[in-house]
Structure 1
Amino acid sequence: MARIVITEFMDERAVASLAAAHDVLYDARLVDDAPRLLQEARGADAIIVRNRTQVRGELLAALARCRVVGRLGVGLDNIDVAGCEARGMQVIPATGANALSVAEYVIASAMLLLRGAYVSTAEVASGAWPRTALSNGREIGGKTLGLIGFGGIGQLVAKLARALGMDVCAFDAMMDDDHPAYAELGVRCAGLDEVIKASDVISLHVPLVDSTRGLFDAARIAAMKPGAVLINTARGGIVDEPALAAALRERRLGGAAIDVFGTEPLPAAPHFQGCPNLLLTPHIAGLTAEANDRVSSLIAQRVAEALR
């Protein structure tokens, strides 16, 4: 019987499936108790985390007998993958399990921000009638979606966007220009600068690495099409937040949806105060009831297999 430590929230049914065969410690608040986390890590044969638990440095050193790290999500920037592998630890992400949740968030955000008409409830209920002010929203059909990163999630976003009548172009530094996914989904492969200049909506789907840190700085934001919308469900640190806020206030951009931030939880952010057509969410694009079930079930299954 192996000892499994789960440091962040996980679907209870998946936890129960692991507990049926193993000694499981499940505490969704463990991530916020560093001394106890280190203590429990020393006896763990497996550890299951989300994005807040930093499997590196002192915690990685404490995982002396650990054989597997389960990641309830796909991003691995909170895990020292090379360090884990050097210690013989298998790192298992939930690849693909939350892709639909993220893709739907992107499309819904794009439609909301382009239309700009879904924040009038209080005005209408109070007797106001802002019909003229809200009559110039834009349709998503016929617009160009630019994808920065064309992996599994980017491809699913493209599929949904094409079904709504959008043109889609994509840039991915890790994919060949003749990759069959472009033709299969009716997506045009383009360079980074071309995607930025041509798109009405830009959605980011790249990991946070040295080459993508600060990728959307003030210069690239300024190069976006006037009135364009920027959506970031990838990782904080890719977008220069103050530069984005300035572009929104100056009405150079038409809107933005930001789900990830350079520091999480996001502290007070005065640069975002008063920005028009801005949607901020607390890193939940990949979190729905269905996605949590899929992610948790997949990781429970694969961690159990790795411990056999």
Structure 2
Amino acid sequence: MLRCAILDDYQSVGLGLADWSRVRATSFSTHFTDIDELAAALADFDIIVIMRERTPFTAEVFERLPRLRLLVTTGMRNASVDLEAARAHGVVVCGTASSSIPPAEMTWALILGLARHLLPEATAMRSDGPWQSTIGMDLHGSTLGLLGLGKIGSQMARIGQAFGMDVIAWSQHLTKTRTDELGVRLATKDELFTESDVVSVHLVLSARTRGLVGKRELSLMRPGAYLVNTSRAAIVDQAALAAALREGLIAGAGLDVFETEPLPAGHELRTLPNVLATPHLGYVTAGNYHRYFREAVQDIDAFLDGTPIRVLS
């Protein structure tokens, strides 16, 4: 019976959400930050299941795991897996479905939390602090700027409209035909940053989008505007964002993604008072987790039967 490792199972739920009876499955709830430690822990495993992009599988990792035969990633896209290296080492890589609804819901949790200053107000309540110290932002009548109008961006648009917001959108290949379908106004990139009260990022990370939001774009935003990123951290220049927040060039940011995860203790984005930060919870829901682990087992069963499914490499 092949051995299977489930990595980064922070909540220790993976083994209970699917039937792993065809393999000897072991769950790791702690994150391996050191490649030597990772390689030593996984040396005897034939199959590895990874949760999104928590643990990158680079060429060096594949090189150090010669026994590995199957890698299953949750979701059908994982930029942290070197697919070419996987092929070179004879490792089959498979994926699972992933719902776009939870990330949209998480984005709205951050927007609402920022708009109504929930973090400082809730903290004051717990510490017997002042009773009301902020004035909330009205979403109704304000402008929501969407960077990207794909599956998640489209959901964001519909919810923004339900709040009574004026929704505008931009991405490099976005067309007026698409925005008209959703009742959204097609903006230029500069218009989006200049006019929006909330800018929300919903793009795929690529060479074209890496660093897309930098010092210039942030400088175009209104002092009372918020930036929300639940997509990928590297789309936003992290140093420029920290400077804009530190200097009060924008009102604040809602962040669920970071270039280093887990975010190191004492990191500035953990401590800035105008940041509402969460530990990459966008996809972490009961429905998604059931889907991930159930389909991961389906991938494993199909591989064992000699007919791999949902193959990425």
**Counterparts of 2:293 and 2:186 in 1: how far apart (Å)?**
34
Q: 1:84–1:156: structure 2 CA closer, same or farther, 3 Å change rule?
A: farther
Q: 1:88–1:166: structure 2 CA closer, same or farther, 3 Å change rule?
A: farther
Give 1:121 deviation, angstroms.
4.1
Alignment of 1:48-197 (within 5 A): 48-50=49-51, 51-64=53-66, 66-73=68-75, 76-87=78-89, 89-97=91-99, 99-116=100-117, 119-121=120-122, 123=124, 126=128, 128-130=130-132, 133-134=133-134, 136-173=135-172, 175-177=173-175, 180=178, 182-197=179-194
Q: Can you give the 5+ residue segments of structure 2 that lack an aligned partner in the other structure?
A: 306-313
Q: 1:168–1:94: structure 2 CA closer, same or farther, 3 Å change rule?
A: farther
Aligned to 1:258: 255
TM (normalized to structure 2)?
A: 0.80
Give 1:302 deviation, angstroms.
3.4
Q: 1:282–1:91: structure 2 CA closer, same or farther, 3 Å change rule?
A: same
Give 1:255 deviation, angstroms.
1.6
Instruction: Give the secondary-structure state (helix, strand or coil) at the position aligned to 1:31.
Output: coil
- Write the deviation string for residues 158-191 of structure 1: whole angstroms up to 9, x where unpaired: 2322222223222333x451665x4443333333
TM (normalized to structure 1)?
A: 0.82
Q: Is 1:27 matched with 2:17?
A: no
Match of 2:210 among 204, 209, 213: 213
Q: 1:166–1:69: structure 2 CA closer, same or farther, 3 Å change rule?
A: farther
**Counterparts of 1:276 and 1:223 in 2: how far apart (Å)?**
22
Superposed CA RMSD in Å reads 3.0
Q: Is 1:8 matched with 2:5?
A: no
Aligned to 2:308: none
**Counterparts of 1:296 and 1:239 in 2: how far apart (Å)?**
31
Give 1:77 deviation, angstroms.
2.2
Aligned to 1:227: 224
**Counterparts of 2:123 and 2:277 in 1: how far apart (Å)?**
19
Q: 1:63–1:224: structure 2 CA closer, same or farther, 3 Å change rule?
A: same
Letter in 2 for 1:297: R
**Counterparts of 1:277 and 1:245 in 2: how far apart (Å)?**
10
- Write the deviation string for residues 240-264 of structure 1: whole angstroms up to 9, x where unpaired: 3343233234333122111222222
Give 1:279 deviation, angstroms.
0.7
Instruction: Give the secondary-structure state (helix, strand or coil) at the position aligned to 1:119.
Output: helix
**Counterparts of 1:121 and 1:236 in 2: how far apart (Å)?**
26
Q: 1:121–1:153: structure 2 CA closer, same or farther, 3 Å change rule?
A: closer
Structure 1 window deviating more from structure 2 (265-274 vs 145-154): it is: 265-274
Task: Give the aligned length.
Answer: 300
- Write the deviation string for residues 265-290 of structure 1: whole angstroms up to 9, x where unpaired: 22245644763431122222221333
Q: Is the 8 A contact 2:140 2:165 kept in 1?
A: yes
Give 1:45 deviation, angstroms.
4.3
Give 1:216 deviation, angstroms.
1.9
Q: Can you give the 5+ residue segments of structure 1 that lack an aligned partner in the other structure?
A: none
Q: 1:88–1:224: structure 2 CA closer, same or farther, 3 Å change rule?
A: farther
Q: Is the 8 A contact 1:242 1:272 kept in 2?
A: no
**Counterparts of 1:217 and 1:72 in 2: how far apart (Å)?**
30
Q: Sequence identity of aligned pairs in percent?
A: 34
**Counterparts of 2:139 and 2:123 in 1: how far apart (Å)?**
25
Letter in 2 for 1:49: I
Q: 1:240–1:4: structure 2 CA closer, same or farther, 3 Å change rule?
A: same
Structure 1 window deviating more from structure 2 (222-231 vs 73-82): it is: 73-82
